[in-house]
């Protein structure tokens, strides 16, 4: 183990014909010291292994399983096979289920069966998302119901939107949808005419375009007082002539 081939340099005091024996002697001394230290540590390790084995042999099985479980859950850097081999227990004996309370019902217990599952549950628990199987099923049902209602409302809205687009314009101005949209837009512009900025006259909401009638965007509308509304229409007629 400690034999080595040395490339010997020339004696600094000679003409290169003789090796530097002092260097060789120093190296040999260091190698012997290292060898003694290794042998000492090997003996110490052997002694510790014997003491460890004797301690394990005397310890109650429940204690060994508890210590193995602690190593498994709290020291992920140690391999499971090493824990089982060194402590003389089976993996099934020292991997009890790690328990978490459900964040929703607070009663049911969620079990972690592995280190990965434990870490996953701890991350979910910090967010309040660690839930039991029953609560998970309830959540799934709730999401399914919400999606169903959304699809139904979307279908109803599509039907109603087609009605709003095709009905006579005078009838459209009397619908609840237009009244709500008109009120919302007036609130957006501060109940002021967007041309003269007056707020003490009756305001009309004029359509710039009818492309999205029934679902107007703000840019589709303009709030005008009676006077500005008349001028707006007059200019539009003159521009079209």
pLDDT band for position 68 (50/70/90)? confident
DSSP for 169-190, please give it: HHHHTTSHHHHHHHHHHHHHTT
Residue 183: is its pLDDT beyond 70?
A: yes
Distance CA 206, CA 232 (A): 9
How confident is the model over 46-64, as pLDDT tens digits?
787 777 777 776 778 778 7
Q: How crowded is residue 108: how many other Cβ atoms within 10 Å of its Cβ? A: 14
The pLDDT score that the predictor gives to residue 110 is: 77
Most trustworthy range by pLDDT among 107-111, 119-123, 168-172: 168-172
Per the confidence metrics, is the pTM higher than 0.85? no
Question: What values do phi and psi take at 225, rounded to 5?
Answer: -75, 175
- For 72, the 3-state DSSP assignment is helix
How confident is the model over 35-47, as pLDDT tens digits?
888 888 888 887 8
């Amino acid at each position: 183990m400690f034999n080595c081939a040395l490339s010997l340099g020339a004696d600094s005091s000679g003409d290169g014909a003789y090796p530097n024996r002092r260097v060789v002697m120093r190296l040999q001394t260091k190698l012997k010291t290292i060898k003694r230290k290794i042998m000492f540590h090997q003996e110490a390790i052997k002694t510790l292994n014997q003491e460890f084995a004797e301690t394990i042999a005397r310890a109650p099985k429940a204690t060994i399983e508890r210590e193995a479980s602690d190593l498994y859950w709290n020291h992920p850097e140690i391999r499971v096979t090493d824990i089982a081999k060194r402590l003389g227990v089976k993996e099934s004996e020292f991997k009890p289920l790690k328990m978490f309370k459900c964040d929703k019902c607070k009663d049911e217990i969620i079990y972690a069966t592995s280190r990965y599952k434990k870490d996953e549950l701890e991350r979910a628990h910090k967010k309040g998302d660690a839930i039991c199987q029953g609560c998970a099923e309830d959540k799934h049902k709730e999401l399914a119901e919400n999606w169903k209602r959304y699809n139904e409302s979307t279908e109803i809205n599509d039907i109603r939107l087609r009605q709003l687009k095709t009905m006579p314009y005078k009838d459209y101005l009397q619908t609840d949808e237009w009244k709500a949209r008109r009120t919302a837009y007036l609130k957006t512009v501060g109940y002021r005419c967007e041309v003269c900025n007056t707020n003490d006259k009756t305001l009309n909401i004029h359509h710039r375009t009818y492309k999205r009638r029934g679902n107007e965007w703000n840019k589709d509308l303009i709030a005008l007082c009676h006077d500005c509304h008349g001028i707006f229409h007059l200019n539009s007629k003159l521009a079209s002539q």
